Structure 1
């Protein structure tokens, strides 16, 4: 018998609480972002009913199709964009999302700054770092990060912190540790790192946002 959304959420939150206790951190220092990409509104509602209020989507268009109706019933939801953002979708993203995790290039800095001015919204952004030097994942090269942060600050973009996705199939701890070190060097407290398979490790190494999909929704069909 499959677990209910309430049971899955309770299990993930219990892991977060236990890991925070081991790391001598407060559970409220870690925000659980339920990654609902590819899942229907009907699959999301049970988690909303169970009390989850922070969700992540990968694509602007998919979020536009699902979330306006859900937000009518749950207006206190925070919606995070955790996937790559095309510059031509910046205005749509700023209008819909409360946080963007994938700022990774100068052209997107310009597009977001323009969208902020047009919409009147200033959405906090994590700068995505290519921590494993994998071009296909997107992210700013570590060497280019200081310049990108400077450009973002000059454009008056609120920087929430850094985000990374370690290489698949490799022990993630060294990558999370490197990310924490880089964040410290730049005076950034926010660290968006850790997913279903490795979020306890990420929390031990300083994650402030964990992006969890499979552990909450089950395997995607």
Structure 2
């Protein structure tokens, strides 16, 4: 596999689903990837990248951004409240807004910095106690509270349970977005992004299928 293969598969999935060409944004998930692999993907023209850790992203992306124009950086991992300042400084989108303490911190930092990263609310569609995310029934109230803070979430994100068919979870997320007037859906990863596109994903998060297996050392 690799970047060209993933791009072709996204185009085919868009076509099969009757979606407009280019309607799905590919987020290349570069966490814990060697610099040479990331640079090769940058040189191939990929501009949208996802990271899971604020500190790791701080250490590597300022240099790449000075060399490669138009890079867009998405935070797709959990954000600790004490990292909200750095997250607002560094990221163009945050996919993991999952609690009111973080919402308040982000609202404060956005006001302080004059930056407004695109926001996605993470939804725990599988009601998994070990997983972050707003429960399905609590989403309308959480969204209203975010808007009261001056935040404007534009989409939803989910990570389906590993041992379940992801499609019902994608459909739940799509329904919730429709019911709450949200246009964006961050769902689908290396193993299931084509199914996610068929169900309405606007952003897919693909890492190992582009870069190869991660080396956690």
Q: TM-score range by the shorter chain?
A: over 0.9
Deviations 1:121-159 (A, max 9, x none): 111110000011112220011111111101111112131
Counterpart among 184, 200, 210 of residue 216 in structure 1: 210
CA distance in 2 between counterparts of 1:10 and 1:43 reads 14
Residue 46 of structure 1 corresponds to 40
Shift of 1:27: 2.6
Pairing partner for 2:143 from 141, 145, 149 = 149
Classify the secondary structure of the residue corresponding to 1:178: helix
> Aligned partners of 1:191 and 1:117: how far apart in 2?
25
TM-score, normalised relative to structure 1 = 0.95
Corresponding residue for residue 186 of structure 1? 180
- Asked if 1:28 is matched to 2:22, the reply is yes
Name stretches of at least 5 consecutive residues in structure 2 with no aligned partner: none
Spell out structure 1 runs of 4+ moving beyond 3 A.
Answer: none
The structural deviation recorded for 1:14 is 0.6
Matches within 5 A, 1:1-221: 8-221=2-215
1:29 CA displacement: 1.1
8 Å Cα contact 1:194/1:210 also seen in 2: yes
Q: Deviations over 1:94-134 (max 9, x none)?
A: 00000000001111110000111111111111000001111
How many corresponding residue pairs? 215
Q: Which range is displaced more, 129-138 or 62-71? A: 129-138
Normalised to the residue count of structure 2, the TM-score between the two structures is 0.97
Q: What is the alpha-carbon distance in structure 2 between the residues aligned to residue 77 and residue 122 of structure 1?
A: 16
RMSD: 1.0
